Amino acid sequence: MGSKSQTLPPAPSCLKMFHQIWAALLYLYGILLNSIYQCPEHSQLTTEGLDGKEFPEPHLGRWYFIAGAAPTKEELATFDPVDNIVFNMAVGSAPMQLQLRATIRTKNGLCAPRKWIYHLSEGSTDLRTEGRPDMKTKLFSSACPGGIMLKETGQGYQRFLLYNRSPHPPEKCVEEFQSLTSCLDFKAFLLTPRNQETCELSSN
């Protein structure tokens, strides 16, 4: 009687070795991707001291709100009615204090003035908002000329906010901000329209 030839299955040891090699390759590929596409770092600005030695004078003055990013759309909802916001940051009336004034131009054309007092802590880069013990603000530098980023953290929200000396910075600045914040898992994004004239800043 003739016998039929049969194909023998691969030895278990060969399959095991193949899986180990494949797993090692995937692991190395993951490390390579992480090294290439890791989130870019952003250097934190020094905010302690108001004598001009540690808190740089260039970060005082007028700023325009450009864009925001947060983990969810709800954390940016407060800016939905906004067309533009102009801010002025100045040294406060007391040591270790900053005064921030703003005027909001809403999409329906109204002007709404706002005012905050920030308190600085010795040896810390955190800004504490007067009357808002739950709120913490950090200042970050921006790669965009004339730009600055704030990270606000409060009860139930956190968000990055982009400001610039110009009300209309180059589009590349906004793209870089969105790329950075998205990489940090702040996927929701809001860009202010800035179609209307800014409101006058109150001097009070």
Domain boundaries of the chain, sorted by first residue: 57-191
Q: What pLDDT shows up at residue 122?
A: 73
Q: Which two tokens stand for residue 192?
A: 């202010």
Mean pLDDT by 10 residues, the chain (204 residues): 52 62 56 48 43 56 97 96 96 85 97 92 77 88 86 93 96 93 93 96 71
Q: Check: CB of residue 192 under 8 Å from CB of residue 67.
A: yes
- Report how far residue 178's alpha carbon sits from residue 162's, in angstroms, rounded to the nearest whole number: 10
Q: Which H or E run contains 37?
A: helix 12-37
DSSP string across 57-87: GGGSEEEEEEEEEESSGGGGGGGTTEEEEEE
Q: What pLDDT shows up at residue 55?
A: 54
Domain 57-191 in CATH 2.40.128.20? The answer is yes
Q: What sign for the dihedral angle of Cα 203, 168, 177, 40? A: negative
Kindly report the pTM of this predicted structure: 0.75
Q: What pLDDT shows up at residue 29?
A: 47
